[in-house]
Amino acid sequence: MTKAVNSVSAAPAATPGKLPLLPVNFDWLVFAFLAGGFALLYLPAYYELANSVWATDEQGHGPIILVVSFWLLYQQRHALAEAQAAPMAWLGWPMLLGSLLVYTFGRSQDITLLSVASQIGVLMALALIFKGARALRLIWFPLFFMIFMVPLPEALVSAVTGPLKSAVSAVASTLLYQIGYPVGRSGVVMTVGPYQLLVADACAGLNSMFTLEALGMLYMNLMRYTNPTRNVALALLLVPTAFVANIVRVMILVLVTYHFGDEAGQGFVHSFAGMVLFMVALVLMLGLDKALGMFLPAHRGAR
């Protein structure tokens, strides 16, 4: 006599895998149309930047900011696709039209600041038109981060860079003199032994501070800090941090020139000093972050 046995085979537990390259039910036609239009507008602007300001030491961070911004937008693709659509066309379309007018004026008058900055408004408008305010909240940081790739006005850079260079050269020369080096200073020209060094804009200017501020903002975003008080405090402290890092950079260049000659100071070491600037700034930023953590929690509402 045989007994029938009903066996139920358990289904294997689903193992979470990597997120797909594109969200489910992705509308290729709409995306291709929007991406093509965006590229048609802004690739020529990027090309001009690559052959002008992005090729300088002062604005060399621009393409890095652009790539990181698009990477951050890409990271939000699934959240954007899953967000409930609540289009705000009444706000999105006027914003899109205004941004395109700003772009047109900037391109026609060769005002790079306007033509590049307009892309932020275009992306904000598209988010509002297709998804609404929730989508804008999801991508606010990548769009805000794009501000750091917009070339600063020359008038502002000139007005701020002069005093910054004087302050950096004054502090660097004083510190070196105090530890026994034959250093003198006249304005932004430093004399060490038989050599004279001009403190350039890239060594102590507004653009380097702007770049380091962008680095700090990215750090806070990657750390997922939600306490606005701590974020604002760290952002403000990054300004003197950048100043100190610039002083260290200038001191290194002066010491290398004094000990190894002018060729060494203006060669590879000069470029390497730029890396030192960011390494010093990063170490100082991490130290400040740890110090703030002793008084301010990283997340809103935490104790």
| Average pLDDT in the chain | 82
Q: Which pLDDT does position 115 carry in this prediction? A: 92
Q: Which pLDDT does position 32 carry in this prediction? A: 86
Alpha-carbon Rg for the chain in angstroms: 26
- What is the pLDDT averaged over residues 235-261? 85
Verify that 250 and 265 share a domain, yes or no: yes
**Tens of pLDDT along 36-55?**
999 999 999 999 888 888 87
**Tens of pLDDT along 177-234?**
999 899 988 888 888 888 888 877 666 667 777 888 888 888 888 888 888 888 889 8
Residue 200 to residue 222: CA distance in whole angstroms:
32
Overall number of domains in the chain: 2
- The pTM of this model reads 0.78
Q: Which pLDDT does position 67 carry in this prediction? A: 92
Q: Which pLDDT does position 96 carry in this prediction? A: 96
In a domain, 135, yes or no: yes
Confidence band for 171, pLDDT divided at 50, 70 and 90: very high
Long-range contacts of 93-99 (CB under 8 A, 24+ apart): 93/125, 93/129, 95/121, 95/124, 95/125, 95/128, 96/121, 96/122, 96/125, 96/126, 96/129, 99/124, 99/125
Domain span including residue 258: 155-293
Verify that 277 and 162 share a domain, yes or no: yes
Verify that 54 and 144 share a domain, yes or no: yes
In a domain, 130, yes or no: yes
In a domain, 13, yes or no: no
Verify that 136 and 187 share a domain, yes or no: no
Residue 161 to residue 150: CA distance in whole angstroms:
17
In a domain, 127, yes or no: yes
Confidence band for 154, pLDDT divided at 50, 70 and 90: confident
Cite the active site residues: 203, 249
Verify that 174 and 96 share a domain, yes or no: no
Domain boundary among the residues 95, 127, 151 is at: 151
Verify that 90 and 186 share a domain, yes or no: no
Residue of 192, 210, 203 whose CA lies nearest to 166: 203
CB atoms within 10 A of CB 279: 12
Q: Which pLDDT does position 302 carry in this prediction? A: 60
Confidence band for 1, pLDDT divided at 50, 70 and 90: very low
Percent of the chain whose predicted confidence (pLDDT) is above 90 = 29
More confident residue, 51 or 19: 51
Q: Which pLDDT does position 94 carry in this prediction? A: 96
Percent of the chain whose predicted confidence (pLDDT) is above 70 = 83
Verify that 130 and 196 share a domain, yes or no: no
Verify that 98 and 169 share a domain, yes or no: no
- Which of 92-96, 165-169, 195-199 has maximum average pLDDT? 92-96
Q: Which pLDDT does position 14 carry in this prediction? A: 38
Domain boundary among the residues 105, 134, 151 is at: 151
Q: Which pLDDT does position 271 carry in this prediction? A: 61
Residue 71 makes CB contacts below 8 A (sequence gap 6+) with none
- Which of 11-15, 64-68, 240-244 has maximum average pLDDT? 64-68
Residue 112 to residue 52: CA distance in whole angstroms:
10
| Burial category of 118 from C-beta neighbours within 10 Å (exposed 0-12, middle 13-18, buried 19 and up) | buried
Q: Which pLDDT does position 199 carry in this prediction? A: 78
In a domain, 4, yes or no: no
